[in-house]
Structure 1
Amino acid sequence: MLRHRLAALFEPRSLLVVSHRSLPVARSLPSSLARAATFVKPQATSPAGAVDLAVPEVLAGVERGERVDLALLCVHSAQLPQVLEAIGPHRPRALILLSTETAPDNALEDMIYCRSWARLNDCALLGPRSFGVQNPSRGLNFSHIPQMAQTGKVALVTQSRSLVAAVLDWAIDVRLGFSTVVSLGDEAGVEVAQVLDYLANDRHTESIALYLEDTFTARSLASALRSAASVKPVVVLKAGQLGQASEAGEAVFNAMLRRAGAVRVPYFVQLFSAIKVLRYTYWPRGRRIAVFSNGDGAAQLAMTVIGPSFPVLRAELGKSTVKALADVLEPGAQVLNPIATSLPLTPEIVRSVVEILAGDAAVDGVLVLLAPDPLADMTRVAHQLAVSAPAARKPVITCFMGEETVRPLRHLLDEVGTPAFRTPESAANAFGVLASYHYNQLLSRQTLPPESLQREPLLEQARAVLAQLRAERRTELTLAECWELLDCFHIPLHRPQGESAVDTWTADEPLMAIRARRDPRFGPYIKFGTGGTGALSANDRAVDLPPLNSFLARQLIERSLIWNRVLSREMSPAAFDNLRETLERISVLVSELPEIDSLVLDPMVAGAGHVTAHGVRMSLSTSTVLVLPESSGYRHMTIHPYPRRLVQHKRFDDGRAWTMRPIRPEDAEPLQEFIRGLSTEARYMRFVSMLRELTPSMLARYTRIDYDRELALVATVQVPNPEHRGHPREQIIGFAHYLRHPDGRGAEYALVIGDDWQRRRLGTVLMLGLIEAAQIQGFAYIDGYVLSSNRGMLRLMESLGFRNDSIPDDPGTRRVWLDLGSRAIDA
């Protein structure tokens, strides 16, 4: 099985250490790696002097001619060239350059030299001046810090060396353990996205805490975040603003995190409390919480971070809930949210109140805030919460205020999976993180959009308008040209009638605006809000990245202040649909026309069944687009849209029409139906098991595709749908998929054709589509594993130029593979 490229960095099988001082690694190696480790101490009269360095020709645990997995260097800056030359013959797959006690003469020169060396030797580089790596789950300490972090399930990835040391020191006090700790820093050749890819598949890691400063590529980071966050919680803490970017850049960065399914926290103290709460079994369906406390003081503290301007809202309890609470609590107790009792708590009261609140449909979660009470048995109360919280089937988060006497009670609840916090504010904020994470995960599953809205855009006409502007060396569009472009994308806006119609709205009508602009790092973004105000703050949630589908456009509108304050009560359903479709189509416009630098519809006014744009402005960027976006992989965008260019309508030899297209999220049920309809033999040949249908996780994996790193194609035909009076529906008859290998260079394919549709060259066409897409994405090879008895599949692959290799330890399986660099794309 192929290893991830960074496995050599985090779990090496062989090790070369070159250091002028003793390092912790020498004292903590597990026995398996100790037998494959070589230690060399350079001898020199001064840091700048010549180095006496004798690196063995054959290292411990490494066969002659093989590459060593990891080289760990701690040498003076002046000695780096000589040391790197000495270890060069061993071509390490990964290299860590630890910092030394002396400052380098020229840090920038060291960085450039080391990066060049790493590129020439195909080596993953961490440093120079690196903190290093700790991997407590495997007992590996490749850092200067002598004390190994406690073993846990959280991976810490930072771009700050100083922050790592502080976190490890702090973690000892709060009993927080880690699976992996790595600091990348400015000098790292290893990118954040590569580390996220590795951790997403690391069985020792259950959640990821990520601290970012500035060094990342938006496209690769968004793709890696989405991949990692789809399988385990990812919490991001980012310092300050993005380099010299404005607040708009911060708002767009937050939009990217929402679409990736990760969650951002603003303060360091929230980073690991967020990790704790995101491991909770139950996710809230909304943001409304009920607060229960043994005293009103703690409840009021929590209410300071609950409300419309915060991530969570106060739940409005139903009448039956209020009556039930009044029956359980003492006369005079506070039974309207927040709920407070002044009597000593008992386990029975806690159980009853949690059951009543969790049973209210208007409550999405319960926050239990408890202060120490000498008249109550708080240990029994905590044990009751440990039972009641999981049974509630809604999030129940607790806060035991205090320290010495209640710390064991918090630990008790943490251990059973019910997050417990120290202060009311931190507990309420943690619930906000949980609600935001659930919402962001919902957004991340929208992919994106499946096809043009009923009518295809008139791309050639639109691009001709922009070409004419370029020819005339203009960047500002006239009003007529703006409306022509909007019409090319069938944007359903009404235009004002008459010359003076721009000022025809009334003073009491709410003015709306849509603004699409380009961020230098994240590409085009879309904002919806109040007309006449162009400012965009970092906390503005009515910002999103294209592409948008109907669901995402609706969410964008409903996150805006103008929706919550006015439009939700005054806008007609027809006008809302008109506005939603406008956002979808503007998303298509900025996706297909990278030249658009700014598009502003301001002001807009909602009518009885439509939206009128009274102001329309567009401008072009000064840079020229040389390659069409569909041919370049939409590199101007952070999120790869649905690859429409791969939709092809074809016919079989008998004239029957069929379609080859990329898979969509809504194909989940048709794909399941296709798998169920396969013969037992066909399913076994594909999955090497007797499964009758795909598991929910497999179904999600195959239909929620990140088009930036993988592809799934389906072949479909139209068949009558008896459930809809015989109107035609699509039926999947073939499925082909490739997934990027952990090495990042190749992709593994899978192909299955319906039993009734075989021997029609369907498999050939689907595989050619996969091969072409893999070549465009830059893969070096594509391969697959085929049962030796599956002669039909082996013949097909050989006809396409695949090599057919045996697998020494598995004679029942063949590896078929194709070198994509040496193969021309066939039509």
Structure 2
Amino acid sequence: MAALRHRLTALFEPRSVLVVSTLPMPLFKEVPARLAGRITQARITATQVQVPDRLEGLTETQRLDLALVCIEPVRLPQALDAIRVHKPRVVLLLPSNLASRDPMEDMVYARSWARINNCLILGPRAFGIQRPHLGINLSHEPQMALAGRVALVSQSRSITSALMDWAEDVSLGFSAIVSVGDEAVIDVPEVLEYLAMDPRTDSIALYLEHTPASRRFTSALHAVAAVKPVVVLKVGGQRQQGEAHEAVFNALMRRVGAVRIRYFVQLFSALKVLVYTRRPKGRRIALFSNGNGAAQMALDVLGSDAAVTCPELSPSTQRALDNLLAPGDQVQNPVVTYVPLTPMRIDSVISTLLDDKDIDGVLVLLTPDPLADMPAVSRELAMLSASARKPIITCLIGDADMRPLRHLLDGVGTPAFRTPDTAANAFDLLARYHYNQHLSQQTLPPLPLGTLPEVEPARELVRQIQSERREASEQECRDLLRYFHVPVVDLRVTHDQGEPDPDVPPMGLRFETDDKLGPYAVFGGADHADWLSSSYPAVELPPLNRYLARQLVERSPLWRKSLSSQLTPLVLTQLLQVLERLSDLMSELPGVRRVVLDPIMAGENSLYIKSISISLSKQSMLVLPETAGYRHMAIHPYPRNMIERRQFKDGQRWTLRPIRPEDAEALQTFMRGLSDESRYMRFVSMLRELTPRMLSRYTRIDYDRELALIATVRSPNPDNRNHPRDEIIGFAHYLRNGDGRGAEYALVIGDAWQRRGLGVILMEALIQAAAEQGLTYIDGYVLASNSPMQALMKRLGFQNDADPEDPSMRRVWLDLGETRRSD
């Protein structure tokens, strides 16, 4: 739970820099204070790259943090060979003024050199990096960006430069700007991992031209979106990979809690609204305008597919507005006044709308009015917005007179926009963000509902079909559905359970596999060959729980058109069970590439099918997905196999299990209950409780890149009539290190539960999980004065080394390769 070290610190906050460049670098125009006396420049001649034996600010035993290399591509091997002696942690490869004859060859060479020399490389052909608050400009860009709280991560140098120019025009500042170039070593997922922990970054703008490798990208994006708003602008996918991939990518953004935008002009508007601290708790907004035209333009944007709605105001709200507004004004939603506004009137109207329990936010649209004191109205609106408990988004239409008023509102933290469409889109984006964040917290229930699937016979059947290199027969398709207890009646086999209702339109359901993002589900009408446009909403990624399955169905046009009123509750439940159990099938059988049930017909009590199609892939079923980390999926399922019921020597029962999002409150209670000594030994501070960001960070985790195990006992909950609840008594966690081979662990045991062997059990389970995921070592940093923790780790076979950078800490680590061999 303490801040974990990251190897990209040498890139984002270097303490020493070596410059190997044939071009003048902006870094030398104004040397940042933290690098004063710590920048060394290599001497480059026509035949040699000469690097001094001693570098500025470094002792003989210290490694160089960063080498900035900008040289003709044909001389890249010469430059890298020259800097090798100083063992740089990171090398930044900027483009020179000469193009490479073979960029792919440069990338392969850089990657090999980095592996041999235990070094990271950003590039080749990277934009570089800027850290405005530190004054660090490691790029060709002559102008330093303004300092701010937004990080910009990009796959394009040119778009990065354009975004910087645009941001300057709207006075948007950045915490970091980085473009990864050819991604020889450092890629987008690793940059996101660092920014998730960067205290200077509050939100992230991500520009993509291709989808990064599925699992690492998903894990990193899930981790950062759990604690910071992420806006993703992705281009080119529909042309390069087809509309189906784009629809699946949209589904992925929903599940990780990020927000995707489609147009360049939306990027800064999205960032502007997502850093707003007040976010709606629902989808219902009220519109208020000093004229009908602006309100109608906003309504045109908020069509039937919008994430927000404009519901009817409550009768009491309408009566109150009728008393506040002039005769002829409109008191329905949208609320429209035609008389000049006053500060008192706008305060009364907006306060009345905020008090309506059926309204989750207010959109205020104002046009210039020569008869009104618009600056005074805006100041009153700014004061009201700053203290409102629900979000207020404003649109002040115009430029010359209205621009300073928008700046006034922006200054108090309430987003102000120039046009009705951007303001309406901003509320729509807020609602989508809230919805996506809710989806991102969904995990499978701790135990499967209903009858457990017969996984082993199903896997054996798939292995047999694969070994015979043939398609599954109809009977084998039925067998696979039966093994996973999919509740459908096959009309080709029986007519004994009623008949379909001809008035209910037939449905279709298929699970497909995207080459990059793995399995996905699509639901809609029958004969779905042309369903999957890039904007089709009824797409979801496994694993599915009941909530996710229902959301998938309800996002389909077929649900809104007819199914919502035609399916009986019993049949709807069966439909959701079909989705859940086929999701389990795709999760547990990586050899299955495609499952199609089409058509599906509904009766009063059953679902019926006439056709099943199951296609297999070449993916081996010999390696179990639970031991391989479910690599065939973008999202790692909740690891139910790690749940264990145990008991202490005195007979008291307790449970060991992976943490879940709903454990946040229990984890905070656990933290508050620690003694000052335990808190200091674990966190090296007197931190009394987790911040909201830390709490989210340690309960909403990706079970592939990290793992948090908790020990719980059942105890009465005084806040719920003493009904039993899970009380956390121990917490163990690991997070993959940037090298992908190891992980850093953390362990804390409740004071009343120490010296009962709990720490050993938690660490042994953590070590076993790390080994099963293929990690080669696990390490942690322990206070040199924390003798009990060091003794515990010694008992588990850990080695204990001094931390060369901090004598008050010890690096305590275990070689998992040797551990597995000894077993």
- With normalisation by structure 2, the TM-score equals 0.92
| Structure 1: unaligned runs, 5 residues or longer | 45-50
Kindly provide the amino acid, as one letter, of the partner of residue 793 in structure 2: M
C-alpha distance 295-92 of structure 1, shift in aligned 2 (>3 A): same
C-alpha separation in 1, matches of 2:652 and 2:366: 69
Q: Tell me the equivalent position of 1:16.
A: 18
Q: Tell me the equivalent position of 1:516.
A: 511
Q: Tell me the equivalent position of 1:233.
A: 229
Secondary structure at 2:59's aligned position in 1? coil
C-alpha distance 565-7 of structure 1, shift in aligned 2 (>3 A): same
- 1:380 paired with 2:376, answer yes
Q: Tell me the equivalent position of 2:40.
A: 38
C-alpha separation in 2, matches of 1:714 and 1:432: 38
- Residues 768, 826 of structure 1: 8 Å contact kept: no
C-alpha distance 285-572 of structure 1, shift in aligned 2 (>3 A): farther
Q: Tell me the equivalent position of 1:774.
A: 770
C-alpha separation in 2, matches of 1:747 and 1:69: 22
2:522 to 520, 523, 527: 527
Secondary structure at 1:96's aligned position in 2? strand
Kindly provide the amino acid, as one letter, of the partner of residue 535 in structure 2: N
- 1:88 paired with 2:84, answer yes
Q: Tell me the equivalent position of 2:206.
A: 210
Kindly provide the amino acid, as one letter, of the partner of residue 510 in structure 1: P
C-alpha separation in 1, matches of 2:349 and 2:716: 54
1:485 to 468, 480, 484: 480
C-alpha separation in 2, matches of 1:297 and 1:371: 9
C-alpha distance 183-328 of structure 1, shift in aligned 2 (>3 A): same
For residues 453-483 of structure 1, the C-alpha deviation after alignment (integer angstroms, 9 at most, x for no partner) is 23321111111221232243222331x3222
Q: Tell me the equivalent position of 2:27.
A: 25
Kindly provide the amino acid, as one letter, of the partner of residue 600 in structure 1: V
| 1:647-662 paired onto structure 2 within 5 Å | 647-650=643-646, 659-662=655-658
The 10-residue stretch of structure 1 (701-710 or 193-202) with the greater mean CA deviation from structure 2: 701-710
C-alpha distance 701-244 of structure 1, shift in aligned 2 (>3 A): closer
- 1:453 paired with 2:449, answer yes
- 1:430 paired with 2:432, answer no
C-alpha separation in 2, matches of 1:232 and 1:722: 33
C-alpha distance 2-254 of structure 1, shift in aligned 2 (>3 A): closer
- Residues 210, 236 of structure 2: 8 Å contact kept: no
The 10-residue stretch of structure 1 (676-685 or 340-349) with the greater mean CA deviation from structure 2: 676-685
Kindly provide the amino acid, as one letter, of the partner of residue 760 in structure 2: T
Secondary structure at 1:491's aligned position in 2? coil
Q: Tell me the equivalent position of 1:276.
A: 272
Q: Tell me the equivalent position of 2:50.
A: 54
- Residues 153, 178 of structure 1: 8 Å contact kept: yes
C-alpha distance 626-82 of structure 1, shift in aligned 2 (>3 A): same
C-alpha separation in 2, matches of 1:755 and 1:135: 42
- Cα deviation for residue 257 of structure 1 reads 0.8
2:136 to 129, 134, 140: 140
C-alpha separation in 1, matches of 2:424 and 2:725: 48
For residues 147-206 of structure 1, the C-alpha deviation after alignment (integer angstroms, 9 at most, x for no partner) is 111111111111111111212222222111112111123355321011111111222211
- Residues 306, 312 of structure 1: 8 Å contact kept: yes
- Cα deviation for residue 249 of structure 1 reads 0.5
In the alignment of these two chains, the number of paired residues is 820
C-alpha separation in 2, matches of 1:724 and 1:522: 42
- Cα deviation for residue 496 of structure 1 reads 3.1
The 10-residue stretch of structure 1 (216-225 or 647-656) with the greater mean CA deviation from structure 2: 647-656
The 10-residue stretch of structure 1 (671-680 or 552-561) with the greater mean CA deviation from structure 2: 671-680
C-alpha distance 185-477 of structure 1, shift in aligned 2 (>3 A): farther
C-alpha distance 798-422 of structure 1, shift in aligned 2 (>3 A): same
Secondary structure at 2:58's aligned position in 1? coil
Secondary structure at 1:102's aligned position in 2? coil
- Cα deviation for residue 330 of structure 1 reads 1.5
C-alpha distance 204-727 of structure 1, shift in aligned 2 (>3 A): closer
| 1:397-408 paired onto structure 2 within 5 Å | 397-408=393-404
For residues 751-801 of structure 1, the C-alpha deviation after alignment (integer angstroms, 9 at most, x for no partner) is 345667655544323211111112233444333455677655443322111
- Residues 463, 621 of structure 2: 8 Å contact kept: no
The 10-residue stretch of structure 1 (275-284 or 384-393) with the greater mean CA deviation from structure 2: 384-393
Q: Tell me the equivalent position of 2:165.
A: 169
The 10-residue stretch of structure 1 (133-142 or 495-504) with the greater mean CA deviation from structure 2: 495-504
C-alpha separation in 2, matches of 1:53 and 1:563: 67
- Cα deviation for residue 609 of structure 1 reads 4.0
C-alpha distance 497-76 of structure 1, shift in aligned 2 (>3 A): closer
- 1:645 paired with 2:641, answer yes
Secondary structure at 1:608's aligned position in 2? coil
Q: Tell me the equivalent position of 1:48.
A: none
C-alpha distance 599-660 of structure 1, shift in aligned 2 (>3 A): same
C-alpha distance 686-373 of structure 1, shift in aligned 2 (>3 A): same
Q: Tell me the equivalent position of 1:99.
A: 95
- 1:625 paired with 2:621, answer yes
- Cα deviation for residue 112 of structure 1 reads 2.3
Secondary structure at 1:125's aligned position in 2? strand
| Structure 2: unaligned runs, 5 residues or longer | none
- Cα deviation for residue 78 of structure 1 reads 2.2
C-alpha separation in 1, matches of 2:456 and 2:417: 59
- Residues 502, 615 of structure 1: 8 Å contact kept: no
- Residues 501, 604 of structure 2: 8 Å contact kept: no
Kindly provide the amino acid, as one letter, of the partner of residue 308 in structure 2: V
| 1:242-281 paired onto structure 2 within 5 Å | 244-281=240-277
- Residues 382, 412 of structure 2: 8 Å contact kept: yes
C-alpha separation in 2, matches of 1:581 and 1:9: 48
Secondary structure at 1:130's aligned position in 2? coil
- Residues 3, 742 of structure 1: 8 Å contact kept: no
Secondary structure at 2:656's aligned position in 1? strand
1:663 to 650, 653, 659: 659
The 10-residue stretch of structure 1 (223-232 or 668-677) with the greater mean CA deviation from structure 2: 668-677
CA RMSD of aligned residues (A): 3.0
Kindly provide the amino acid, as one letter, of the partner of residue 69 in structure 2: L
C-alpha separation in 2, matches of 1:464 and 1:333: 72
| 1:461-500 paired onto structure 2 within 5 Å | 461-478=457-474, 480-496=475-491
C-alpha separation in 2, matches of 1:811 and 1:80: 38
Kindly provide the amino acid, as one letter, of the partner of residue 424 in structure 2: A
- Residues 307, 314 of structure 1: 8 Å contact kept: no
- With normalisation by structure 1, the TM-score equals 0.92
Kindly provide the amino acid, as one letter, of the partner of residue 521 in structure 2: I
C-alpha distance 165-733 of structure 1, shift in aligned 2 (>3 A): closer
The 10-residue stretch of structure 1 (127-136 or 647-656) with the greater mean CA deviation from structure 2: 647-656
C-alpha distance 481-158 of structure 1, shift in aligned 2 (>3 A): same
- 1:605 paired with 2:601, answer yes
C-alpha separation in 1, matches of 2:89 and 2:684: 33
The 10-residue stretch of structure 1 (614-623 or 452-461) with the greater mean CA deviation from structure 2: 614-623
- Residues 501, 602 of structure 2: 8 Å contact kept: no
- Residues 285, 362 of structure 2: 8 Å contact kept: yes
C-alpha separation in 2, matches of 1:242 and 1:122: 38
Kindly provide the amino acid, as one letter, of the partner of residue 42 in structure 2: V
The 10-residue stretch of structure 1 (256-265 or 194-203) with the greater mean CA deviation from structure 2: 194-203
Q: Percent identity?
A: 56
C-alpha distance 299-731 of structure 1, shift in aligned 2 (>3 A): closer
Q: Tell me the equivalent position of 1:47.
A: none
| 1:219-368 paired onto structure 2 within 5 Å | 219-241=215-237, 244-368=240-364
- Cα deviation for residue 558 of structure 1 reads 1.9
- Residues 3, 743 of structure 1: 8 Å contact kept: no
C-alpha separation in 2, matches of 1:321 and 1:656: 56
For residues 10-56 of structure 1, the C-alpha deviation after alignment (integer angstroms, 9 at most, x for no partner) is 22111111122211111122133131101124222xxxxxx233211
